[in-house]
Structure 1
Amino acid sequence: MASEQVLDVVVRRHVFDSDWPFQAVLDGIFGGITRPDIGALLGKLAASTSYEQFSSLVRQARGSAGLMLFLQLDLDVALALDPQAKGQTGRRLVRLIAGNPVTMEQMTRHVPDAGSYAPVTILLQQTPGGTRVAYDSVASALARYHDAAASQVARRLDAEVLGLLRQVTGVPASASP
């Protein structure tokens, strides 16, 4: 029998406002998130014959924040073409989708719905005074599932991402809520 459920998921969004230039913040993020040839890497991962080999390949490919870029969406291209987007043209808006297959496996092993939140999204917006960066906490999205193991992995993931974002925006760690 088919059914549909509607679940409310509360997500904590971290927003960093920085007077640092957009490109400097984006470059800083790429200092902690690698940009491998994702197609080739996924092929190697699929050909892995053991979890140890799989994990080793991921360790070699990930950046200092434990992540690799899966996709970059330059949303500003659509804004430039939309006549209704007054005041938005000329500013950058980029969505980075980054993750770590081992981390994703560790969370989805306990809570399959974690696959909806990992890989993570980092949204960068060029503002008149600098750059705004937004990140939705994976731990907050998984809280409704009450799974200690998945929550522990999600908190570690959030700490790595938030540490990188604080560093590249110049926001001190003590400023976090």
Structure 2
Amino acid sequence: MNSNAVRWPNSLWAAVTPSGPDCPELTGAQQADVVIIGGGFTGLSTALHLREANVDVAIVEAAEPGWGASGRNNGQVIPTLSRPDPDDIIARHGAAGERFVAMLRDSAADLFDVVKRYNIEAEQEQAGWVQPVHSPGRIKIAERRVQQWSKFGAPVELLSRDQTRDMLGSDAWYGGFWNRT
């Protein structure tokens, strides 16, 4: 049985995922140019990119790499936020907002590129992300998001009810917002 499943018995993801690497416990004095607390997606990505820049990095993780929220999110890679749209982010944060929107736009593609570059066994499938619309009134939100993300170069598309049904296999939706990355 997976050692994660023993430590977290109510987690389906831990039960079906191979154990992570055997990482030594931190003992004694250690030194690195950068110490990253937490080996989730953000910490591991930061460490990887710093190592690519020849920076000496150490990661301190309480459980195992990729556990926490990174390991229990069922593998979704969503290159957007749930509430603020790009125009709102930029209006509030200016140039920093523009950089953040660009980072969000490219986040899924960047992740899949890293997985490919390092031949990471992640069972990844880059088929895009769909936000289905559950009521006729919410179509306006999907239209706005498609318009705004398109303006910033994201490969997005508004889906009709039929397209959403064909993609998701359910007649429950009124349409959707599809990000192909």
TM over 0.5: same fold? no
The alignment's TM-score, normalised by the length of structure 1, stands at: 0.25
Please give the TM-score of this superposition, normalised by the length of structure 2: 0.25
More strand per residue: 1
